[in-house]
Amino acid sequence: MTTVYERRAATAVPPAPRRSPAGGVLALLWAGAAAVLALWWSDTGSVIGAAGWLTGAGRIAGLLCGYACAVLVGLMARVPLLERRIGSDRVARWHAMAGRYTVCLLVAHIVLILAGYAAQDRQSVVHETLTVVLDYPEMLKATAATVILFAVGVTSARAVRRRTSYEFWYYVHLLTYAALFLAFGHQLALGNDFSGNSVATAAWYTLYLGVTALVLWFRILAPVRLNLRHRLRVEAVQREAPGVYSVVVRGRRLDELGAQAGQFFRWRFFGEGMGWTSTPYSLSAPPRRDLMRITVKALGGHSAAVSLLRPGTRVWAEGPYGSLTADRRTASRSLLIAGGVGITPLRALFETLPGDVTLLYRARTAEDLALGGELEAVARWRGARVLYALNGPHGERPDLTADALRATVPDLSGHDVFICGPHGFAQDLYGALRAAGVPDRRIHHESFEL
C-alpha cells in the first residue's frame, strides 16, 4: 500500500442511523405464508390413507408455491422502500432465496399431487400425468408455466449464470411474468381451497393484483414519467483506464431525482444495439442539477459497447436505487475500500461523505487505477487519505489481512467501512474486518452476484 495523502478532514458528528424496515417486511412475508397454511388447515377435514396424505402435502406445497411466486415478483418490483431503505443487494438475496424455495415447492407439488392422484385412481404415475396435463382445465397453461419457471431456476444457478450473458439471463427472467399469468387460472380452477370460498378467492386476487399494480407503477409508469420529465442524453464518453469508460449523461432538473452518492440507476442506451437491455451502473460522481456520470468496465456485451456511445444518444434510466449512501453512517470516521471498478460508487462517496474519510483502492497495476487523478484531487481538497493496494513486481497480491488493515488504519474498529468490489474480494474483506474488530453494523456493502 502507498499512502498518497496524509491530511485529514475535520470530524463531523454522524447522524443517527435510520432503522431498517427489513425485519418488519420479513415478518409480513412469513405471516403471509402462515395465512396460506391456515387456509389449507381450515379447508381440510380428515386425511385418510396414503393418497390423502400425498395429495394434502401436494396441496400445501402448491399453495405455498403460488404465494412464493407472488412474493418473487413483488421483491423485484423495485419498490423504493425496499430498494433504498433495505438495500437492493439484500432484496436481491431475498429474491434469490425465495426463488430456490419456489422451485423446490413446485417440484414437491407436482410429485406429491401426481403420486397422490395415481394412488387414489390406482393408476401408474405416467398415466396419471398424461390425464392431468391433457384433460384437466387450465393444465396445459400450467405446464407451460412450469417449464418457464424451471428455465428461470436453471439460469439463476451461479454456475450457469457465470457462463451466460447478462442479456440472456435478463430476458429469461422477464418470462417469469408470463409464467405467473399462465399459472394463475390453474390455481383457482383446481385449487380445492378456493372452491366455494369467496374470501380466499378474493384474498388471492388481491395478492396477485396488488403485486401486478406494484410492477406496473414502479417498473413501467414511474420510469416513463422520469424519462419524459428529465430527457436524458449522452453528453460525452471518456476513457479512464484499460477497458474502463465514463459516460456523462445530461438531463433537465436532475436534482429532483433525489439521487445520492453511492446509488445506481438501471440504464438503457438507445444506440449501438444496446436498447434491448437495462443494466445497473453506479454513479461515479455526485449528481449535479443537469449532469450525472457513470463509469463502466467492459465485462460483457452491454458494458463493452458503452465505449461506442456517441454524444446525443438517447438514454432511458430507472432509479435511483441502492442504500450504499451516507445514510448508513454511524461513526464520524469512514474507510472506503474499492476493488477494481467497484471504485465507481465510492468515488462519489469519497467526495461527499462527511467526517474523516480514508479510501483504500485495490487494483492489479497502477494502469488499472480508474479515476485516480480525481481521487487525488478530492483528497487534496478535503484533506482526506488515498491508499493504493497494488500487486507487487512479480504479481504478488497485497496484504489485506486483519493485522494489515489495523496497521494501516488506526482505530479501525471505530470506523464505518464501505466496501464495493467483486464478490470474492468483498467476502474476504468482510472476514478480515470482522477479525479486526469492526462491528457487523458498521460494515456496509452491496453485492449483486447471487
pLDDT, tens digit, 9 for 90 and up, residues 334-359: 999 998 888 999 999 999 999 899 99
So what's the pLDDT on residue 7?
Answer: 35
4 pLDDT above the threshold of 80: no
Q: Is residue 439 part of a domain?
A: yes
Give the mean pLDDT of 417-429.
89
pLDDT above 70: percentage of residues in the chain: 94
Q: What angle do CA 260, 76, 79 make, to 5 degrees?
A: 50
Least confident span in 13-17, 93-97, 122-126, 300-304: 13-17
- The SS3 call for residue 291 is strand
* In a shared domain, residues 31 and 125: yes
Helix, strand, coil content of the chain in percent (nearest 5): 55, 15, 30
Cα–Cα distance list, 152 to 103, 168, 175, 276, 366 (Å): 9, 11, 8, 19, 40
* In a shared domain, residues 191 and 47: yes
* In a shared domain, residues 178 and 272: no
Q: Which of 281, 298, 321 is the last residue of a domain?
A: 321
Query: Exposed/middle/buried for 94, CB within 10 Å: 0-12, 13-18, 19+?
Result: buried
* In a shared domain, residues 95 and 185: yes
Contact call for residues 42 and 388 (beta carbons, < 8 A): no
So what's the pLDDT on residue 283?
Answer: 94
448 pLDDT above the threshold of 60: no
Q: What is the CATH number of the domain that holds 283?
A: 2.40.30.10
47 pLDDT above the threshold of 90: no
433 pLDDT above the threshold of 70: yes
Least confident span in 182-191, 255-264, 320-329: 182-191
* In a shared domain, residues 352 and 294: no
Specify the amino acid at residue 270: F
Q: Which domain holds residue 256?
A: 231-321
Q: Is residue 450 part of a domain?
A: no
* In a shared domain, residues 32 and 68: yes
303 pLDDT above the threshold of 90: no
* In a shared domain, residues 295 and 429: no
* In a shared domain, residues 356 and 297: no
So what's the pLDDT on residue 367?
Answer: 85
Contacts of 132 (CB under 8 A, 6+ apart): 113, 114, 117, 139
How is the beta sheet containing 356-363 ordered, strand by strand?
2-3, 385-390, 356-363, 333-339, 416-420, 443-445
Domain count of the chain? 3
* In a shared domain, residues 221 and 336: no
So what's the pLDDT on residue 2?
Answer: 37
Q: Is residue 33 part of a domain?
A: yes
pLDDT band at 288 (very low <50, low <70, confident <90, very high): very high
Model pTM above 0.85? no
10 pLDDT above the threshold of 70: no
Omega within 30 of 0 (cis) for the link into 320: yes
Give the mean pLDDT of 217-231.
94
* In a shared domain, residues 217 and 245: no
Half-sphere exposure of 204 (CA within 13 A, CB side): 26
Q: Which of 295, 321, 347 is the last residue of a domain?
A: 321
9 pLDDT above the threshold of 50: no
- The SS3 call for residue 123 is coil
14 pLDDT above the threshold of 80: no
d(CA 279, CA 448): 12
* In a shared domain, residues 276 and 416: no
- What is the DSSP annotation of 38-103? HHHHHH-----HHHHHHHHHHHHHHHHHHHHHHHHHHHTS--HIIIIIIIHHHHHHHHHHHHHHHH
Neighbouring-strand partners of residue 316: 268
Q: Which of 280, 304, 321 is the last residue of a domain?
A: 321
* In a shared domain, residues 67 and 125: yes
Cα–Cα distance list, 273 to 156, 268, 298, 301, 340 (Å): 25, 10, 16, 10, 27
Q: What is the CATH number of the domain that holds 392?
A: 3.40.50.80
Q: Is residue 83 part of a domain?
A: yes
Cell of 244: 474502463
The helix-helix angle for 125-135 and 88-121 (nearest 10°) equals: 110
So what's the pLDDT on residue 267?
Answer: 92
So what's the pLDDT on residue 220?
Answer: 93
So what's the pLDDT on residue 50?
Answer: 86
Q: How confident is the prediction for the chain on average, in pLDDT?
A: 87
